[in-house]
Amino acid sequence: MASAPSSSAGGPHRIVIVGGGAGGLELATQLGRKLGRRGQAQVTLIEKARTHFWKPHLHEIAAGTVDINAHAVDYLAQSHWNCFRYRVGEMTGLDRARREVHVAPYVDPEEGEQVTGARVFGYDTLVIAVGSLNNDFGTPGVQEHALLLETPAQAERFHRRLVNACVRAHAQGAPLRPQQLQVAIIGAGATGVELAAELHHTTRTLVSYGLDRIDAERDIRINLIEAGPRILAALPQRMSASAQSLLEKLKVRVRTNARVTAVTAEGVQLAGGEAIPAELVVWAAGVKAPEFLSHLDGLETNRIHQLLVGPTLQTSRDENVFAIGDCASAPWLGHEGATVPPRAQAAHQQASHLVKQMQRRLRGQPLQPWRYRDFGSLVSLGTYTTVGNLMGQLVGGNFWIEGLFARWMYQSLYKMHEVALHGWWKTVLGTASRFIARRTEPRVKLH
């Protein structure tokens, strides 16, 4: 029978979770309730942000259809209510022999003031859940001229620029320049496709609030650019075709087999020499884990910096270090040679699995392997429709859905996340209060 490593301080078992995304925060919350509250473990969450927002909905912040203040979770309050500790900071290094996590000084992003110095946190069990980033593949001009949608702050920045662009175009006396009110979205995965549909709706709503010198149908153009042969390449062909058909009906310009070679202040350059003018460029292509993971005291990573883990989600070279979510390359049991795709449902399942395994670990019992259950994929096309397929244990096969039912299923994914964090009653009451508040607010955020 395997035994859990004891705390070097002689106190309760120290579980440190790095990263407060969907998987990390759910895990910290559940472990805090089950182990921290009873004094069976000391649970610590290390996260550089102050608040949490569900990443799959960042495109809605960018489009202005969601107010972050109505959905953000304050880490400090969440830790207080659920018996875990929250420590602000960004992991920079690891000492596996001493079982210590090194955290950089925290500097307030707006004030530029250092709030905390460099710190070291000891652990008995470490779970790394730092998520993923977009991969710009070294494309010239991306860092200087394109906007990313990796954090709520970046999504809000895009929305401010969008509103400013519309107000500027309405107020100026001169004709529109070629790139004005043109949006280029690079990458036609779920984020890019959902953003394109959402922007079509919100830009027209924004213009309708008095910016009558802008003709939305004539002046605003959304370009969706994909290097591969079809959009939503990781999802079934039927979903790709259905989504593209709707986008084209909305007059979104979908470009496939179009590789971007540079981003400039005036727009996007394609491999064939064509230039697409754009005032706003969003880079939503490619996925990679943070690069610092490749330098963590010898832990094994793949070419996109994901930590290699086994069926128990323990890293390949250290049984005391686990990894979950997009930053982990986990084997898809039952699918020879395949790894689990970077999806929110995978992070949710991994967090739920580790809650039970941490209890087994404290009891000295062997850990059980994690098996990914693919319940299908859903893509929201704004207010127009939602498309997807349900599969596996949920419906006993592969079942195509579209429209209102698909929309409900899409929303249920977020509700499952809320329930994991807050429980049923708070989720129901929070949903009801936001529904009522929406009746007295603009449909699109105007600032």
Tell whether 46 and 127 lie within a shared domain: yes
- Which of 76, 98, 32 has its CA nearest to residue 358? 32
pLDDT score for 444:
62
Domain assignment of residue 328, given as a range: 13-133+288-362
Tell whether 208 and 250 lie within a shared domain: yes
List per-residue pLDDT tens for the chain, 447 residues long.
345 565 655 689 999 999 999 999 999 999 999 999 999 999 999 999 999 998 988 999 999 888 888 789 999 999 999 999 999 999 999 999 999 999 999 999 889 999 999 999 999 999 999 999 999 999 999 999 999 999 999 999 999 999 999 999 999 999 999 999 999 999 999 999 999 999 999 999 999 999 989 999 999 999 999 999 999 998 889 889 999 999 999 999 999 999 999 999 999 999 989 999 999 999 999 999 999 999 999 999 999 999 999 999 999 999 999 999 999 999 999 888 899 999 889 999 999 999 999 999 999 999 999 999 988 787 888 777 777 676 544 444 456 677 766 677 778 888 888 888 998 888 888 878 777 766 666 656 665
How far apart are alpha carbons 115 and 392 in whole angstroms?
48
Domain endpoint, select from 283, 308, 325: 283
Q: Residue 295 carries which side chain, given as an amino acid letter? A: H
How far apart are alpha carbons 112 and 120 in whole angstroms?
22
CATH of the domain at 176: 3.50.50.60
Tell whether 195 and 266 lie within a shared domain: yes
pLDDT score for 8:
55
Tell whether 60 and 96 lie within a shared domain: yes
Q: Are 27 and 324 in contact (CB under 8 A)?
A: yes
pLDDT score for 440:
61
Tell whether 163 and 270 lie within a shared domain: yes
User: Could you tell me the pTM of the whole model?
Assistant: 0.92
Tell whether 61 and 154 lie within a shared domain: no
Pairing of strands 91-95, 100-103: antiparallel
Q: Where are the beta strands (DSSP E) in 132-286?
A: 147-148, 182-186, 221-225, 253-255, 260-264, 267-270, 275-277, 280-283
> Residue 422: CB partners within 8 Å, gap ≥ 6?
430
pLDDT score for 393:
44
pLDDT score for 404:
66
**The dihedral formed by the CA atoms of 22, 27, 29 and 35, expressed in degrees to the nearest 10:** 180
> Residue 439: CB partners within 8 Å, gap ≥ 6?
none
How far apart are alpha carbons 185 and 225 in whole angstroms?
6
How far apart are alpha carbons 297 and 12 in whole angstroms?
25
Q: Structural domain tally of the chain? A: 3
pLDDT score for 380:
81
pLDDT score for 348:
94
Domain endpoint, select from 327, 362, 397: 362
- Which of 195, 265, 262 has its CA nearest to residue 224? 195
Domain endpoint, select from 283, 318, 339: 283
Tell whether 264 and 356 lie within a shared domain: no
Tell whether 257 and 169 lie within a shared domain: yes
